[in-house]
Structure 1
Amino acid sequence: MFEGGADPMVADDYMDQVETQLISMDVTDDHLKIMLATYKFSKDAKLWWKSVTNQYKVEEMSWDMFKELFYEKYFSITKRWEFKDQFVGLIQGNMSITEYENKFTFLFRFAPEIVSNEVEKTKKFVSGLHDRMRPLIMAQYLKVYLEAVERTLMLEAEAKDKDVRREQWKQKRNA
């Protein structure tokens, strides 16, 4: 069910679920896609859709037009630009590699035109890594995103292990 509301991520998640289901059901007709997507509307979303049907010839509406109207209503362009800007300026900072990669993946979907291929995506991910990690990964000149993530996770794990061993050594030395 989709009720509408102010949270753009709920709207985006709903649209993602609908599109996944439409693909799995092999629905290609735009009108049928729209009817299936709006079938689960309730409350605010149902009222909004009723107003859309009064303004547009829904039978002739394309799926892309429906999505455009849906996102205009429930996921403002301002919010999408904000996420795009966050992606452009994303750096690891104090985040773990897992946290950084999760945020990278989340924000990436709002800025796919910034990184048009796998190599550029990998380069963008690596460029945002912490100063200690970035040179080690850059030196490997990885071109596959998931490979870069995996190597970075391995380096992070090794660094944590090294810190633990160093701390144990200090405790032994002080004892």
Structure 2
Amino acid sequence: MEQFLAAQTQLLANMANTMTAMQQQPPPRDKHREFMSHKLPTFTSSPNPLDVDGWLKTVERMLNITQCSDREKVLYASGRLEGPAADWWDAYTIAHANANDITWEEFRTNFRSHHIPSGLMKLKKEFLALKQGNMTVTEYRDKFIQLSRYAHGGMC
């Protein structure tokens, strides 16, 4: 009986220690709730490559702030797709050998290549022909920075 009481006392002490440790740990973060709290725009389609790239950069910034894993980035960003963009994603994942292995880099690269087509070449030409003209220095600088993303052919 003495051993039984000692074992029960030890068990109760272990339970008390476990409860104390659990109370001291912060609750697990709900990254999806954090990501969604930013009320990010959805994406359907756009003929303007800057809109496409702007959406992707906005979403990626919030994914990084929320400290999402690679898989969470793919899931959360693809969850913001609607209409033609969602149809593209559905077709892409169906054709993929293992949709659960799609990385953020793969998502981003294929999203851009599908949604930033030939219009990019127009922007590249616009960048090469950019002149200050009637723009202020600040307006010219902002336009230069905006278009310079497409000047190096990184997405072409």
Asked if residue 22 in structure 1 is aligned to residue 25 in structure 2, the reply is no
Rate the CA distance shift 1:5–1:97 in 2: closer, same or farther, 3 A.
Answer: closer
**Cα distance change on mapping 1:108 and 1:5 into 2, 3 Å:** closer
> Structure 2 length as normaliser, TM-score?
0.62
Three-state SS of the structure 1 residue aligned to 2:130 is: coil
Q: Partner letter of residue 79 of structure 1?
A: G
Residue aligned with 2:100, SS: helix
Q: Would you say the 8 A contact 1:31–1:58 is kept in 2? A: no
Q: Distance in 1 between matches of 2:46 and 2:152?
A: 26
Confirm whether residue 67 of structure 1 aligns to residue 77 of structure 2: no
Q: Tell me how many residue pairs correspond in the alignment.
A: 112
Percent identity (aligned) = 28
Q: Which residue of 1 aligns with 2:36?
A: none
More displaced, 30-39 or 103-112?
103-112
Runs of at least 5 residues in structure 1 that lack an aligned partner in the other structure: 115-175
More RCO (CA 8 Å, sep 6+)? 2
The 8 Å contact of residues 49 and 120 in structure 2, kept in 1 or not, is answered as no
Q: Are the equivalent residues in 1 in contact too, given 2:47–2:119 (CA < 8 A)?
A: no
**Larger radius of gyration between Structure 1 and Structure 2:** 2
Over the residues paired in the alignment, what is the CA RMSD in angstroms?
Answer: 2.1
Relative to structure 1, the CA distance from residue 46 to residue 113 in structure 2 (aligned partners, 3 Å threshold; closer, same or farther) is closer
